[in-house]
């Protein structure tokens, strides 16, 4: 480790010296003149193209992880990806992107699955870029580059080809290689990694489609930066071909570009094409500014805590016990409307009888139980991990009701005792939602029913979540939303039940409710009905009978 650190320090000093030497030859006044006269509109559009490319890359990771059995939220995948992109901006051979796997691991995604997802998709990117760079850029620009660049391209091609071949050997090991890898623990992990990577290959078409779309966006990004400089020194086709070429240079070791100083590669290639060093340097600096500016979105991920069970419990116990009660009676129409309509639909769907035993998992302030108590039941038990909520709920002194401290994934309730189960906005917070489903199945009587509400994965919930975090009162709702479900995905978890149906709730009405005017809310409700019928409501309500 010490030797590796010494080598990294030496590389950093050499790279910095080369960079200083490069900039010492630049006319600073002319460079500053170009930078000061930039068209900000094109800079913004270039940043937008780069941002959209990152959205696509994060979506690709989410889809692959879902195929591997990890239904992690897009929001968490996106910030993990952006953190990796930020590190890759400054690390040799863009190796910092591997941090994405470690960031996902903090969200309970196994490290092997994260690494196999990232490396598999990354190698597809490299293969695509290598083909474009070699077959496109080399033949088109060979008359300019001659021997100065041709040998570097060939070396880069051979290095990447070697990595790809090694990767395929791990994915498709012969019997001898498999036996060899099983001898040591480290090699066995490599074998598991290869097996998981092999399972991803069936999504090659999807991966390459995203890669192609990203290539177009990055080429457009470069061309927009050229337009922002009021200098037409690259055509759109040039931008499309040169972007992957320079990506390859950033992977060549023992070069400034390979050490993370990508500006050196851009200046070298552009000056080889006859473009002035001032323009080339200005373009490189603007590109770096745009990309790092967008990648800074991932900065927050470095400060995110690992969502261990103990950390989550500690977080939930910082939430005031009366938060649901305050929302139910809030002076903010959007809070009051959301809580009351959700509770009303739960109440109407579950149809509790006077001799029923009700279990409310994640009862919070006890809002749902309080409403059911108006029509009567035999016994109700509310459970929550938040001691503040349990204390507050107990102070209500609701008849035939008890509130206890309990984990939703391990219920201290006898089997086959509940007639009705309520679980509102809880399943998305669990690291192992299948444990909750098992517990609900266990405690329900035959013929018993459960109602679950949770955000809809196929909706605009994320927008509301963002608005709530910025303008709302109370805790950050998105921080502990770990898993989202679609209507079909949630229903499949209860496939063993005799009856299961879902509906979606809300769409535009919560946004209309932000105006705090009833007439706007009424209009929003009418529009909601259209989208709710299409399953696009931001919240899912599931009803299942055992």
C-beta separation of 268 from 144 below 8 A: no
pLDDT digits (tens, 9 = 90+) for 29-66: 666 676 778 889 999 999 999 999 999 999 999 888 88
pTM, 2 dp: 0.74
Mean pLDDT of 68-81: 86
User: Is the confidence at residue 544, as pLDDT, over 80?
Assistant: yes
Going by pLDDT thresholds of 50, 70 and 90, the confidence category of residue 520 is: confident
CATH topology for the 313-545 domain: Rossmann fold (3.40.50)
User: Is the confidence at residue 293, as pLDDT, over 80?
Assistant: yes
Which is more confident, 93 or 137?
A: 93
User: Is the confidence at residue 304, as pLDDT, over 90?
Assistant: no
Give the CA angle between residues 221, 223, 229 to the nearest 5°: 105
User: Is the confidence at residue 370, as pLDDT, over 70?
Assistant: yes
C-beta separation of 350 from 359 below 8 A: no
User: Is the confidence at residue 186, as pLDDT, over 70?
Assistant: no
Going by pLDDT thresholds of 50, 70 and 90, the confidence category of residue 473 is: very low
Distance, in Å, from the CA atom of 480 to the CA atom of 107, rounded to the nearest integer, reads: 10
What per-residue confidence (pLDDT) applies to 261? 59
End-to-end CA gap in the chain: 57
C-beta separation of 71 from 218 below 8 A: no
Residues 6+ away with beta carbon under 8 Å from 312: 429, 431, 480
Q: In what order do the strands lie in the sheet with 357-361?
A: 401-405, 379-384, 357-361, 418-424, 444-455, 539-545, 499-505
Nearest to 422 by CA among 368, 493, 370: 368
What per-residue confidence (pLDDT) applies to 42? 93
Q: Reduced to 3 states, what is the DSSP secondary structure of residue 445?
A: strand
Q: Are strands 444-455 and 539-545 parallel, antiparallel or unpaired?
A: antiparallel
C-beta separation of 427 from 541 below 8 A: no
In the chain, domain spans? 2-302, 313-545
541 forms beta bridges with: 453, 503
User: Is the confidence at residue 405, as pLDDT, over 90?
Assistant: yes
Specify which of 11-20, 179-188, 189-198, 485-494 reaches the highest per-range mean pLDDT: 485-494
Tokens of 255: 């070069």
Nearest to 49 by CA among 300, 291, 297: 291
Distance, in Å, from the CA atom of 253 to the CA atom of 331, rounded to the nearest integer, reads: 61
For all residues of the chain together, what is the average pLDDT? 81
Going by pLDDT thresholds of 50, 70 and 90, the confidence category of residue 231 is: confident
C-beta separation of 450 from 420 below 8 A: yes
C-beta separation of 167 from 197 below 8 A: yes
User: Is the confidence at residue 253, as pLDDT, over 60?
Assistant: no
Q: Reduced to 3 states, what is the DSSP secondary structure of residue 538?
A: coil
Going by pLDDT thresholds of 50, 70 and 90, the confidence category of residue 207 is: confident
Q: What are phi and psi of 383, to 5 degrees?
A: -130, 140
Q: Reduced to 3 states, what is the DSSP secondary structure of residue 392?
A: helix
C-beta separation of 505 from 456 below 8 A: no
User: Is the confidence at residue 460, as pLDDT, over 80?
Assistant: yes
pLDDT digits (tens, 9 = 90+) for 149-163: 556 566 666 766 676
What per-residue confidence (pLDDT) applies to 401? 92
C-beta separation of 505 from 345 below 8 A: yes
Give the CA angle between residues 466, 468, 469 to the nearest 5°: 65
Neighbours of 3 (CB within 10 A): 7
503 forms beta bridges with: 541
What per-residue confidence (pLDDT) applies to 27? 58
Which is more confident, 160 or 246?
A: 246
Q: Reduced to 3 states, what is the DSSP secondary structure of residue 447?
A: strand
**Residues making up the chain, counted from first to last:** 546
Mean pLDDT of 240-258: 65
Point out the least confidently predicted range of 83-87, 330-334, 442-446. 330-334
């Amino acid at each position: 480790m010490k030797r590796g650190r010494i080598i990294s320090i030496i590389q950093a000093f050499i790279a910095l010296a080369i960079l200083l030497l490069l900039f010492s030859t630049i006319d600073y006044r002319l460079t500053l003149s170009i930078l000061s006269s930039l068209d900000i509109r094109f800079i913004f559009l270039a940043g937008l193209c780069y941002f959209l490319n990152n959205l696509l890359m994060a979506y690709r990771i989410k889809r692959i992880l879902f195929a591997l059995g990890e239904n992690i939220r897009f929001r968490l995948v996106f910030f993990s990806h952006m953190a990796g992109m930020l590190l890759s901006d400054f690390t040799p051979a863009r190796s910092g992107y591997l941090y994405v796997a470690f960031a996902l691991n903090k969200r309970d995604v196994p490290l092997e699955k994260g690494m196999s997802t990232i490396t598999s998709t990354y190698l597809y990117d490299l293969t695509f870029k290598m083909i474009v760079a070699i077959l496109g850029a080399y033949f088109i620009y060979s008359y300019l580059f001659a021997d100065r660049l041709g040998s570097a391209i060939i070396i880069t091609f051979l290095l990447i080809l070697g990595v790809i071949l090694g990767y395929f050997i791990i994915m498709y090991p012969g019997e001898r290689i498999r036996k060899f890898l099983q001898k040591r623990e480290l090699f066995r992990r490599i074998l598991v990694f290869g097996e998981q990577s092999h399972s991803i290959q069936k999504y090659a078409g999807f991966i390459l489609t995203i890669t192609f779309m990203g290539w177009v966006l990055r080429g457009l990004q470069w061309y927009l930066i050229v337009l922002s400089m009021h200098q037409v020194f690259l055509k759109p086709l040039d931008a499309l071909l040169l972007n992957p070429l320079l990506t390859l240079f950033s992977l060549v070791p023992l070069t400034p570009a390979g050490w993370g100083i990508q500006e050196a590669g851009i200046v070298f290639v552009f000056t080889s094409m006859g473009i002035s060093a001032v323009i080339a340097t200005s373009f490189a600096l603007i590109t770096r500014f745009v990309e790092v500016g967008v990648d800074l979105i991932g900065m927050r991920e470095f400060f995110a805590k690992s969502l261990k069970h103990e950390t989550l419990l500690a977080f939930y116990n910082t939430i005031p016990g009366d938060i649901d009660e305050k929302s139910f009676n809030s002076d903010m129409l959007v809070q009051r409307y959301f809580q009351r309509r959700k509770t009303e639909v739960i109440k109407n769907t579950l149809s509790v009888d006077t001799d029923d035993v009700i279990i409310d998992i994640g009862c919070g302030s006890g809002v749902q139980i309080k409403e059911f108590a108006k029509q009567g039941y035999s016994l109700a038990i509310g459970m929550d991990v938040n001691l503040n909520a349990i204390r507050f709920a107990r102070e209500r002194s609701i008849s035939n009701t008890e509130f206890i401290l309990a984990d939703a994934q391990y219920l201290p309730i006898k089997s086959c005792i509940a007639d009705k189960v309520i679980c509102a906005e809880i399943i998305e917070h669990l690291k192992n939602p299948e444990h909750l489903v098992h517990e609900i199945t266990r405690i329900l009587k035959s013929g018993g029913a459960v109602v679950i509400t949770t955000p809809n994965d196929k909706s605009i919930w994320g927008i509301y979540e963002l608005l709530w975090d910025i303008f709302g009162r109370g805790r950050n709702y998105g921080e502990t939303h770990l898993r989202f479900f679609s209507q079909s995905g949630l229903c499949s978890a209860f496939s063993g039940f005799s009856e299961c149906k879902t509906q979606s709730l809300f769409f535009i009405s919560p946004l209309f409710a932000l105006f705090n005017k009833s007439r706007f809310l009424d209009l929003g409700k009418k529009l909601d009905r259209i989208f709710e019928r299409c399953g696009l409501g931001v919240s899912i309500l599931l009803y299942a009978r055992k």
